[in-house]
Every structure is written in structure tokens, then in C-alpha cells.
Structure 1
Amino acid sequence: MPKIKLDRIDRKILALLQQDGRMPNNDLAERVGLSPSPCLRRVKALEEAGVITRHVALVDPAAVDLPVNVFVSVSLERQVEERIDAFEAAVMALPEVMECYLMTGDADYLLRVVVPDLASYERFLKEHLTRISGVANIRSSFALKQVRYRTALPLGHLAE
């Protein structure tokens, strides 16, 4: 549940900024039907409430020689707080790890790792992941093709 009540205009602002985070405030205001000052106040309020957490540039992985996506399932020897905290801290320090989720089911964690090639992944595995204390099992799955990738969250459920 959002920290603030989002009205139709807030939802429109979020949808537009998710598509183009660099949209000038004047253009944003025009598209949502506000004058620039109230529009900017709304954007600032969304930022202060933590609804908008940051503005980023999305980089094409292939353009920067990172075409390989690996989904890695990791199981810990024991699911105790110290091991969980240690694993999460270690993973946070690895720039190749793009996403990390604590999971239910067969594995304790699911990671998405990006690397330039298979040799780089082997090096990442041997030099980093296998050296994290408490790791019992690692299973890797290589993405053959990215069918869909989105960054914009679906906001339709917030409709009034």
C-alpha cells in the first residue's frame, strides 16, 4: 500500500515518468493537465513520500558488453539470521549481481547476474559466490533470449 493516497493525476505523473524520467516539468505538467508549479510540487511530494525512489538511465547491456544473464539459485547450509545477513552483505558487494531475492521453495535466494561471457561467469562463481560462508548449493540457469523486460510498474490496480 502506498504511503500516500495517489489520485488520478499522481498516477498519470508516475506512468509518464516511468516511461521518460527526464521529461521536462513543463511537458509533464501539460500532459497531466496542471500548470508547472503544482506539477513540480506533486513530483516532489511523490519523491518525499518514497513513491519515486530515484531517477536513473537504463543502459543497454549488449552496448556495454554485458549480454549474458544468469539466474542463480542459492541454498544456504542453515537459514539462521547470521548466515542470511552475511550472505546478503556479501551479495550487495558484488556489482555483477543485478537483483537478489530471498525466496520460498527449493532455493533460499534467486540472483540475476550479468557478465560479458561464460568465462567471466565461471570466474565470478569461483572467486566470489562459492567463497561466501554458509553457501550449500548453487544452481545456474542461463537466459537464452530476453522475451520481455520492463521497468515500469503496472499501476492499474491503483485506479479510483
Structure 2
Amino acid sequence: MTVAQVDQFDRKIMALLQNDGRLTNNDLSDRVNLSPSQCSRRRQRLEEEGFIRGYRAVLDRDRLGFSLVNVISVTLATHNRDNAQRFADLLSRLPEVQEAHALTGEMDYILKVVTPDLKSLSEFVNGVLLPHESVQHVKTAIVLETLKETGSLPL
């Protein structure tokens, strides 16, 4: 199935599920005006085709003690495939890194990192990132306020 084959019912189902992944097929049926069995078949097809990759709980970062959100830019020491792979391997082992994006321009990567406090941020930057062989430069910014945070796509 291609994006062109995703119809308005599929989009509505995906929009509802990305806001609440616990909706049952009966709940979906009421909201999209299809039978529960049609909703079930569509949901299963969307999952099998990879349009729906999974379901997860959204946890409260502050209540769990990760109140500091940090945006960290990283420049690699050398620009080659092996160095980039070493850095990617490092990131895959760091649970405090919530997002990591390779960029064009002045910096190579931008990371979204959560930490409990400034001391933990300092330990992360000075004890994990900077000593790593692939990293040349790190620049950190602390988020003062989050105005919008969503993983939802504009369906």
C-alpha cells in the first residue's frame, strides 16, 4: 500500500490512534462511522504495512525526575563514515538522548537530551560526549520553557 492508497478513513483512524493508542475498534467505529470489524481490518493493515509502527505510553518527564531538557549541538572530529558510525553507536547506548538528528551546515548533529539536573548534564557532556573519540566540539543550551511538544503528524 502506498500513501496514495491511504483513504480518509485510514487517515482518521491514524489521527485518532496517535492521540490515544488505547482506543478500541468499537471506539474507532463510533468516531469514523465504520463497523468495528472494518476498523479492525484497517488498523491491522496499517500496522502490517508499517504506517502504524507501534504504540507507547507518554510518560510525565517532570514527575519522573527528568525536568531539565537540553539541546546539544555536536561537531565531529573528522567527517568520515567510520567516525559517524562510532558516534551513532554511542548515541544508541544513551537513554537520556531522546532525539538525534544529523544536520547540514555548521554543526553535524543536534540532540535533545533529558537530565535530572545541571550536575547530570555536566557529567553527560564532560564525561560522555566530550571524551568520545568521534566528538570535537559540543555546545549546550538549556530549554527554559517548552511551548509545544508533539510526536503527532498533521493528518
The verdict on a shared fold, with TM-score over 0.5 as the criterion, is yes
TM-score, L = length of structure 1? 0.92
Give the count of matched residue pairs: 154
Number of the residue aligned with 1:138: 138
Number of the residue aligned with 1:58: 58
| Residue 117 of structure 1 pairs with residue 109 of structure 2 | no
Where do 5+ consecutive residues of structure 2 fail to align? none
- Post-superposition offset of 1:29: 1.6
Deviations 1:67-92 (CA, angstroms, capped at 9, x unpaired): 10000000001110000111001111
Amino acid of the structure 1 residue aligned with 2:21:
G
Deviations 1:101-139 (CA, angstroms, capped at 9, x unpaired): 010111100000000000011111122111221211000
Number of the residue aligned with 2:67: 67
SS state at 2:69 partner: strand
* d(CA) in 1 for partners of 2:132, 2:47: 36
* d(CA) in 2 for partners of 1:78, 1:26: 55
* d(CA) in 2 for partners of 1:93, 1:5: 37
Structure 1: 4+ residue segments shifted above 4 A = none
Measured at CA, do residues 4 and 50 of structure 1 come closer, stay the same or move farther in structure 2, by a change above 3 Å? farther
Where do 5+ consecutive residues of structure 1 fail to align? 156-160
- Alignment map for 1:9-158 (pairs within 5 Å): 9-155=9-155
TM-score, L = length of structure 2? 0.95
SS state at 2:114 partner: strand
Amino acid of the structure 1 residue aligned with 2:100:
C
* d(CA) in 2 for partners of 1:86, 1:62: 31
Alpha-carbon RMSD: 1.1
* d(CA) in 2 for partners of 1:63, 1:129: 26
- Post-superposition offset of 1:4: 6.3
User: 1:3, 1:49 within 8 Å by CA — same for their partners in 2?
Assistant: no
| Residue 7 of structure 1 pairs with residue 7 of structure 2 | yes
SS state at 2:37 partner: helix
SS state at 1:63 partner: coil
